[in-house]
Structure 1
């Protein structure tokens, strides 16, 4: 990308840890099942890939780091500490950078981790009852996203999770005591989920003291193991209408409990929004490292270079530098439509003056025309004088329909 004013803006770093101790039946993320992944080959591959990406990224300054997967906590406390230290050393990281890590509860709670180590060859937490929380805090991690998914034992078994509800609660408590900001992921709409089971999830989250909640409907992409379980009679498919009702029920309870519903799937207390994830929705640059990771670089004309790393964990570990990402340059109205769709994920919507400044050559009338049908259906609303557009109140579940109009 040619040099532009965008090059001076702070960017985000995403690091994909492509290992899981076990495979969840609904997951379609790219990973390899490995109970005890080695840290040194991972760091060597990341270093090689970063060097191969060249000065276009190495010259940038980063203000967010997000370590996801896969299951980053499968690396264990010391391994995660080493990975965070590598991130700090390898890129120009702002002093006020947000550093986020995804964890599984069974890798935080020492009793549960011990059970996994003996029963499944998982990663044991060693070094005291708060080893994981202590290592992350000392490494400078600001926030953790904990893959709880449900506090219902029925839900956890249905979703094929390794932990139990009590382990999730203990993990939250340990992380909060360490001073780390904690968010949890919940999955709703698993088959035959009852209202009271959803209510338990929300009530437990609210009482736990976490400051961020992500709520996702169970989705089953092609190729996930859940389909095989259905054919064997061990699972059934979720009901889309039931999922919509449960999402609304969760929203109502979380908002009444003081959480701000700020993005389709995300809720925050106070100022606990995810700064890193907001880069995806607001047209900011981010670099993704690791197999299947994605990157985005925006130019001064509103276009965006989208890059996607190839899959294949073994090949990436062996020679990450020789596996360049596939690249696509999205420009003009296509780039503007994509940016508008992403921006409408935030419930506050898109401020038109800033949007048009990032997409020179477009006028406000272009936005009005592209959204006219959705406005007539009551799915989007305009602020006075067309200064801002957002999804209409209560219509956030129609975001995909709005997007189809934008990109078609």
Structure 2
């Protein structure tokens, strides 16, 4: 859902800024565009089964209740997906939108899990990150969601300039005490084509410190484990049983269908990975802009599968990886040998499971560079 009320200075996602009647008009065009994409991809979608739904953005919670109801009617009547029959139905929300009235609508149409873009509970953090909500709205959004029986996840960004361990401990404690069952934790990443570098040049921001981020990410793990959460994926923590089902598809090599501008679809076939990414920009997408296509053949697909599968800290089933990507066990052994020797990767269960070594999850990206090289 490619609409936001404002542009956050660190974000390079595909979105269009809009409010009020303009946003509602564009949302109607977006819904019509979804149906045109469905028609254009009818052959691919025919017979496709789904068991999870994820509505991301942009800011899906910026849609009006009527547009949300229309979206779910289209999912059922146009796409043939009955949301309440899916294992998990997640929608992203901004805290400033998460009012009792909107959450009642969300629960009514069949959403059972919300992902709240809290990012910070600090007024200074919210100012630096360009967020529209207040610290009080952040906690209120959790309380309203939990009160309606919705599974509640929150995103938190660590390492913005001035972020301190004491402040982060307080943020984590408040969110856990408010009832979140899942937390996604990200270090602040600055992309070159975002407003943040321009603000740095004007003296209005500074670049985040890698050392500070690493220290804070280690603190997150310590605090959340002490509070009964499981660190199940590099950036994800959950109460036991509250792990994200949809997100897990990306780490377990499942096929995924994405609809809308910049949405990605992934299909596995004959050991290869076929990826389709829709045109960026809602206007280009509405005008029928051609998607980008990429095909990774067996070795490259398997290397990417290793990297993705190792995001799960419990590790990956090597035999399943070999079956999925049609590679031999000897290929896996050779590919990971250097990282095993360094202690970054370890074998479990008599060599059946490969996982990131204890405490080495902070280096997942650099491990991935070696595996993909």
Same-fold call, TM cutoff 0.5: yes
Aligned residue in 2 for 1:62: 50
Q: How does 1:373-388 map to 2 (within 5 A)?
A: 373-388=338-353
Aligned-pair CA distance for 1:55 = 1.9
Aligned residue in 1 for 2:168: 198
Give structure 1 regions of 4+ aligned residues with deviation exceeding 4 angstroms. none
Aligned-pair CA distance for 1:88 = 2.9
Q: Which secondary structure state, in structure 2, belongs to the residue aligned with residue 22 of structure 1? A: coil
Aligned residue in 2 for 1:103: 93
Gaps of 5+ in 1: 1-16, 110-129
Q: How does 1:241-280 map to 2 (within 5 A)?
A: 241-280=211-250
Question: Which of 161, 183, 186 lines up with 1:216 in the alignment?
Answer: 186
Aligned 8 A contact 1:20 1:33 in 2: yes
Aligned-pair CA distance for 1:52 = 0.6
Aligned counterparts of 1:257 and 1:370: Cα–Cα separation in 2: 37
Aligned residue in 2 for 1:310: 279
Aligned-pair CA distance for 1:102 = 0.3
Aligned-pair CA distance for 1:266 = 0.6
Question: Which of 8, 22, 33 lines up with 1:45 in the alignment?
Answer: 33
Aligned residue in 2 for 1:281: 251
Aligned-pair CA distance for 1:78 = 3.0
**TM-score w.r.t. length of structure 1:** 0.87
Aligned residue in 2 for 1:13: none
Aligned residue in 1 for 2:337: 372
Aligned-pair CA distance for 1:187 = 0.2
Which range moves more in the overlay, 235-244 or 307-316?
307-316
Aligned 8 A contact 1:21 1:35 in 2: yes
Aligned 8 A contact 2:181 2:239 in 1: yes
Aligned counterparts of 1:175 and 1:368: Cα–Cα separation in 2: 46
Aligned counterparts of 1:384 and 1:269: Cα–Cα separation in 2: 25
Aligned residue in 1 for 2:73: 85
Q: Which secondary structure state, in structure 2, belongs to the residue aligned with residue 295 of structure 1? A: strand
Aligned residue in 1 for 2:120: 150
Aligned residue in 2 for 1:123: none
**TM-score w.r.t. length of structure 2:** 0.95
Deviation per residue, 1:322-341 (Å, 9 max, x gap) = 33321111111111101111
Q: How does 1:163-178 map to 2 (within 5 A)?
A: 163-178=133-148
Aligned residue in 1 for 2:151: 181
Are 2:316 and 1:354 aligned? no
Aligned CA RMSD, in angstroms, stands at 1.3
Q: Which secondary structure state, in structure 2, belongs to the residue aligned with residue 354 of structure 1? A: helix
Deviation per residue, 1:50-70 (Å, 9 max, x gap) = 111122223201111111011
Aligned residue in 1 for 2:302: 336
Aligned counterparts of 1:337 and 1:92: Cα–Cα separation in 2: 35
Q: Which secondary structure state, in structure 1, belongs to the residue aligned with residue 11 of structure 2? A: coil
Aligned 8 A contact 1:133 1:175 in 2: yes
- How many residues are paired up? 367
Aligned 8 A contact 2:273 2:297 in 1: yes
Q: Which secondary structure state, in structure 2, belongs to the residue aligned with residue 386 of structure 1? A: coil
Q: Which secondary structure state, in structure 2, belongs to the residue aligned with residue 336 of structure 1? A: helix
